[in-house]
A and B are shown apart, each in its own frame.
Chain A
Amino acid sequence: MDRRANVRDTYDRIATHFASTRAYAWPEVESFVDSYADRETDVALDLGCGNARHAEVLAEPATRVVGVDVSRGLLETAADRSRERGFAVELVQADASTLPIRSGTVDVAVYVATLHHLPTRELRLASLDALADVLASDGVALVSAWSTAHDAFEETTGFDTTVEWTLPGGETVDRFYHIYDPEEFTADLEASSLETVSFELSSGNCYAVVKPVVD
């Protein structure tokens, strides 16, 4: 089976429990959104939105927020959260490397903790190009991925692995990850149609603020 479909099926299986453990937005995402709060934001995109905790942060400055995820199970948790907490997000089931969003429509995007679930470098690069394509020429995005800088890993170069998710009953479900080394992460951004504005390592994750390369 297509390994992208495996990632989708995994998150469909663990969606409810996973979402219940993801209550709070990451501070790095909040400060990114805060730093662009003054500019006019018509359309914001949360790519790999999960339970929409970051779409909720984007809903403050943006006129409309689109939340995209490959997993229908996670999208259902996002719909529940938006109803319970009273914020608007427009949900779409889609694949990050073939985004069904018109070119140049997105003002601000977050692509957080999702890139590392795409099983090949070709697909990861395609997703970065897809993000560049949907961003407006003055649009910005925050991209993050888990990295070898995290205490959990001894490796110093990027590698593919699976990380177990343990359900409440003790059953475990494998999730695919590509753990990036920081140099590899910045090199993949460089190879894409995105230009890096700033880069940092925080809590074992690589973060980059990016904008589309304008021809």
Chain B
Amino acid sequence: MKESLLEILCCPLDKNDLELEDAEYDDSSEDSEILSGTLVCTACGERYPIEDGIPNLLPPDMREESPA
């Protein structure tokens, strides 16, 4: 994901701002795609992973690993 996507995204639980932590960037892309990291809600503290460049913003009760 692009870091600028944070202008649009918010916490699915309470719609507050998300903060990016532990970001790893793809240096080969022009506008520094984020490959992995964590989005943290600035209000409730819920943590959402960025996996393979796609943020997983499912509410926590839907986020458990899918069976293969």
Contact = CB atoms under 8 A, between A and B. Distances in A.
Interface of A: 2, 4-5, 8-9, 12, 43, 66, 70, 72, 75-76, 79, 90-95, 98-103, 105
B66 A12 contact: yes
A72 B11 contact: no
Contact of B8 (A4, A93, A98, A105): A105
B58 A94 contact: yes
Interface of A is mostly: mixed
Given A75-B54, A102-B9, A2 B15 contact: no
A171 to B, nearest CB: 15
Nearest to A68: B57
Interface of B: 1-2, 5, 7-13, 15, 18, 48, 51-59, 61-62, 64, 66-67
By DSSP majority rule, is chain B's interface helix, strand, loop, or mixed? Answer: loop
Contacts of A5: 62, 64, 66
Contacts of B53: 79, 91
A8 B62 contact: yes
B5 A94 contact: no
A102 B62 contact: no
Nearest to A91: B54
A102 B6 CA distance: 10
B12 to A, nearest CB: 4
A151 B52 CA distance: 41
B8 A95 contact: no
A93 B57 contact: yes
B54 A2 contact: no
Contact of B12 (A9, A43, A75, A95): A95
Contacts of B59: 95, 98
A105 B12 CA distance: 15
Contacts of A105: 8
Contact of A95 (B1, B15, B51, B58): B58
Contacts of B52: 76
23 contacts: A2-B61, A4-B62, A5-B64, A5-B66, A9-B67, A12-B66, A43-B8, A72-B51, A76-B52, A79-B54, A90-B1, A92-B57, A93-B54, A93-B55, A93-B56, A94-B57, A95-B58, A95-B59, A98-B12, A100-B9, A100-B11, A100-B18, A103-B15
A99 B48 CA distance: 14
B54 A95 contact: no
Contacts of A98: 12-13, 59
B54 A72 contact: yes
Contacts of A76: 52
